[in-house]
Amino acid sequence: MTKSFDTILHGGVVVNHDGVAPRDLGLRGGRIAGIGDLSQADAGERIDCAGLHILPGVIDTQVHFREPGATHKEDLESGSRGAVLGGVTGVFEMPNTKPPTLHVSDVADKVARATRRMHCDFAFYAGGAAETVDDIPELERQPGCAGIKVFMGSSTGSLLVSDDAGLAAILSKTRRRAAFHAEDEARLKEREPLRVKGDAASHPVWRDELTALKATERLIAIAREKRALVHVLHVTTTEEIELLAQDKDVASVEVTPHHLSITSDDYARLGTLLQMNPPVRDARHREGLWRGVDEGIVDILGSDHAPHTLEEKAKPYPESPSGMTGVQTFVPLMLDHVNAGRLSLLRLVDLTSAGPARLFGIAGKGRIAVGFDADLTIVDLKRKMTIKNDWIASRCGWTPYDGREILGWPVGTFVRGAKVMWDGELATPSTGEAMRFHAAL
């Protein structure tokens, strides 16, 4: 009996948990329904993928899409449009919106705003705060909730839990892995005089290595005491990597493409466009992060896409806000690193697909297997492109990588079987739905 599929991807090289090999993929009803030689099968559409590599859909577990409250610089539609144009099939969106995502009703509101309006699938973090500690068990079970996110150091927005008692109260309630922005607020306040007006290069002097390390040490100690699982976002220092290597039983590790790709030398060229929390540091720390990737200490990558308008970024430091775009350039930058020999395609898949699914219990995503969602990132490793501001879909319309030449480029994005992007163009209207989680089913 001849097999029949909605779509067959023919002639591509599939990169997955079991290796790298030429295989056809058959998609049916939004899921992967066949893997192997499908040359004799029927399909509503057959897509030639010769010369292309097919990866499990890339999941970016740290984006700020600014809705509600700051939609002049991003919203759920524009942010997710950038995601799929860059090969990203799913995102976790952060809670520091206006108002912040604190209550069950806030999560439900974001899910309603996003469903069939976002171009990729999604989940939303709920913010950890003193006033909602008792609500955490219910928040963690909400449809479309990625878990709890806590800011230990002040950043964009009003969410902040800086004291050990507050952190312990939150971690005594969490059952899923909670995510943390780990910078020590007391040290940040103490070092504020080190900021130099008009000089963004003083940003990593103010938010120094010890500011990050001290917070991470405190977090690990409390997590052990409360027998909780924590996820340390955007790790930036060699010392944190060395510390976290000893604590993988309680703590998982994220690094970002910008901390792997740029150094503090670039403040002279980019100024406040490079300003992020925690900051881009010197080459010693960048190499320390790469060692963390090489040695398996780093679990996943996240873009920390955090857009602000050029007008806002043009304010003199330190009045300028911290943040840059990143979701659309996430895959191109990492493919360029693959071509440069910094990591393998299999390691990239583990960091961007299998890793997020494993850490956060995402159901039906993270690998290419029959029965899983047909989320696919299709890339041309030989395509050379130059990143330009006018390619960026974000409402803020800029990237710190403007003019950077890249080898390796996303050419197709499939979300639950729908061809959402092909060769740089949106191909299907927004189909985004909330991700499902094993712990919340």
Candidates 60, 121, 304, 375; catalytic one: 304
Give the Cα separation of 57 and 216 in Å (integer): 30
Please report, as a single letter, which amino acid is at residue 385.
M
- Say if residue 164 is exposed, middle or buried (CB neighbours under 10 Å; 0-12, 13-18, 19+): middle
Please report, as a single letter, which amino acid is at residue 336.
D
Alpha helices in 172-321 (DSSP H): 185-190, 203-206, 209-226, 238-244, 257-261, 267-270, 283-294, 310-313
- φ, ψ of residue 294 to 5 degrees: the values are -60, -40
H/E stretch holding 91 reads strand 88-93
> Please, are residues 60 and 47 in contact by the beta-carbon 8 Å criterion?
no
Angle in degrees, 0-180, between the axes of helices 164-171 and 209-226, rounded to the nearest 10: 40
Residues 6+ apart with CB under 8 A from 296: none
> Please, are residues 327 and 82 in contact by the beta-carbon 8 Å criterion?
yes
Of 125, 130, 150, the residue nearest 140 (C-alpha): 125
User: Beta partners for 386?
Assistant: 405
Catalytic status, residue 48: no
Give the Cα separation of 390 and 85 in Å (integer): 13
Q: How distant, in Å, are the alpha carbons of 9, 33, 225, 339, 397 from that of 41?
A: 11, 12, 56, 34, 43
Residues annotated catalytic, as ranges: 304
